[in-house]
């Protein structure tokens, strides 16, 4: 006849305050990661605004270059630069 030995692992009670500590750690982590994400998004928005301003400045410089010979084209370029800046504010 064969015999099987089965060992059981006794359950250990959850330490007092462990659930509160875990929830507090999760809340702190979410707060910290949220702050980091907000900081990163603010930096990206600042970089995008700066790039938009540079692009518009280049187009306006091109408009000034063409203003003496083709004022209609220069006007169109200035309007395009204005639209580009306005679109980036939305």
Q: CA distances (Å), 20 to each of 14, 26, 28, in order?
A: 11, 10, 12
Return the domain boundaries, the chain: 49-90
The pLDDT value given to residue 39: 95
Give the H/E segment covering residue 75: helix 71-89
Q: Count CB neighbours of 90 within 10 A.
A: 4
Mean pLDDT, 10 residues at a time, the chain of 90 residues: 85 91 96 96 93 95 95 95 88
3-state SS, residue 84? helix
3-state SS, residue 10? coil
Total-model pTM: 0.60
């Amino acid at each position: 006849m064969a015999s099987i030995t089965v060992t059981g692992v006794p359950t250990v009670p959850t330490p007092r305050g462990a659930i509160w500590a875990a929830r507090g750690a999760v809340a702190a982590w979410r707060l910290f990661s949220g702050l980091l994400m907000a900081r990163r998004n603010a930096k990206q928005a600042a970089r995008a605004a700066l790039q938009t301003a540079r692009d518009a400045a280049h187009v306006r410089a091109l408009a000034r270059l063409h203003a003496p010979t083709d004022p209609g084209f220069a006007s169109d370029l200035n309007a395009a630069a204005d639209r580009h800046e306005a679109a980036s504010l939305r």
